[in-house]
Amino acid sequence: MLSLNELWFILVAVLFIGFFFLEGFDFGVGMSTQFIAKNDNDRRVLINSIGPFWDANEVWLITAGGAMFAAFPHWYATMFSGFYTALVFVLLALIVRAVGFEFRNKVDSSSWRAIWDSCIFIGSLLPPLLLGVAFTAIIRGLPIGQDMEMRASLFGDIINGYTLLGGVTITVQCLVHGLMFASLRTINPLQDRARSLAKKLLVPLGVLVIAFGVWSVYETDLFSQHGVPMTIVSILAVAAYLLSGFFMYRKKDGRAFAMTGAVIVLTVAGMFIGLFPRVMISSIDNAFSLTIHNAASNPYTLKVLSIIALSLLPFVLAYSIWSYYIFRKRIHEDHHLEY
C-alpha cells in the first residue's frame, strides 16, 4: 500500500502535470495571437477560445503550491526561497497577462490594444519558459546544504545551457499544444492557420525533445536511478509525438490535441518519476537531498490533509468537466466576443 508520503508526492505531481496540460494550451493560445492572428477580430476569437478556462487553469499551480506547503513544508521553503526571483517574474507575468485579457478591449484604440496584446504574449511566454528552467534545474541538482538551504547562483546553477534547453522545450510544447486547442475551438481560416503552424513546428519540437532527453541522460541521474520506468516514459513520449503529427496531417484535431497534451504530461511525469523518492536533488551531496520523508509534515497532518483532499476532489473534478462541456462549441467572429 502507498504511504501517505508517497500519496502526497503523487498528488503534487498530478497537480503540476494538470497545470502544464491545462494552462499549457492557455499559454500556447496566448503566444499564438502574435503568430496566426491577422487582425483584431482574430485575436479576440483566440482569446475568447480560452476565456472560460484560463483563470481556473491557473488555480492548479496555486493548489500545487498549497499542497507542497501543507504536505512537504521543507520542499516548499527550499524551492520557493531558492527560486524567489524566477517565481516573482512568473507571478508578474501571470498578473500582466490577466490584466491584458481584461483591459485590451476597454478602449477603442489600436495602440491601446497593441500594448495589451504584447502583454498577453509576454505573459504567456515567460511562465512556461521560467518554470521549465526551474524544473530542469531541480532534476539536474542544486547546491542544497545539510540545513536544507539552497544557495544557488542565478547564472550557472539555475540558468545554464541545459536548463535553458528544458525551458525552451516546455515552451514550444505549450505553443504546439495551444495551436491544436485553437484548431479545436475556431473555424476556417483561423483554424487552418493554427493547424498549419503546429505542423511546421513539429520538426523543431522533435529536435528539442530528443536533445533534451539525450542531454538529460548525461546531465542527470534520472535514468540511472529509474532506468526502466524512464525508458518506458521516453518511448511513450516519442510515440505520442509521432501520433500527434499523424493526426495533424489527417486533420483529426481532437486526437492531435490529446497527443500534444500527452507529450507534455509524459515530459513532466518523467521529471517526477526520475526524482522519486527525492523532491529536490543536492549537487553538494546526495545525502543532503530533500526526500518525501525528510521534507514531509508529520503523519497526523498528512492524514487530515488526505481526508480533506479526497472529500473535495470529486466536486472540483465535476465542476471542471462540466465547465469544459458547457463551453465546448467553436468560437468565431459572429459570436459576442467579450475580450
Residue 295's SS3 state is: coil
Residue with the three cell numbers 521516453: 234
Q: Which helix (H) or strand (E) holds 160?
A: none
Encode pLDDT of 296-307 as tens digits. Answer: 999 999 999 999
User: Considering its fold, how many domains does the chain have in total?
Assistant: 1
Instruction: Please check whether residue 335 lies inside any domain of the structure.
Output: no
pLDDT at 156: 87
pLDDT at 335: 64
Comparing C-alpha atoms, which of 221, 203, 208 is closest to residue 166? Answer: 208
Instruction: Please check whether residue 235 lies inside any domain of the structure.
Output: yes
141 φ/ψ sector (left φ>0, alpha ψ -120 to 50, else beta): left
Stretch 168-179: mean pLDDT, rounded? 97
Other C-beta atoms closer than 10 Å to the C-beta of 236 total 16
pLDDT at 2: 82
Instruction: Please check whether residue 245 lies inside any domain of the structure.
Output: yes
pLDDT at 142: 95
Instruction: Please check whether residue 49 lies inside any domain of the structure.
Output: yes
Alpha carbon 240 to its chain centroid, in Å, reads: 17
Q: Which residues contact 193 (CB under 8 A, 6 or more apart)?
A: 36
pLDDT at 334: 66
The span from the CA of 260 to the CA of 22, in Å, is: 12
The span from the CA of 57 to the CA of 25, in Å, is: 10
Instruction: Please check whether residue 339 lies inside any domain of the structure.
Output: no
pLDDT at 60 over 90: yes
**Exposed/middle/buried for 92, CB within 10 Å: 0-12, 13-18, 19+?**
middle
pLDDT at 99 over 80: yes
Stretch 63-87: mean pLDDT, rounded? 93
pLDDT at 1: 74
Instruction: Please check whether residue 274 lies inside any domain of the structure.
Output: yes
Instruction: Please check whether residue 170 lies inside any domain of the structure.
Output: yes
* Residues of the domain holding 175: 4-326
DSSP state of 157: T
User: 336 pLDDT band (50/70/90 cuts)?
Assistant: low
Instruction: Please check whether residue 333 lies inside any domain of the structure.
Output: no
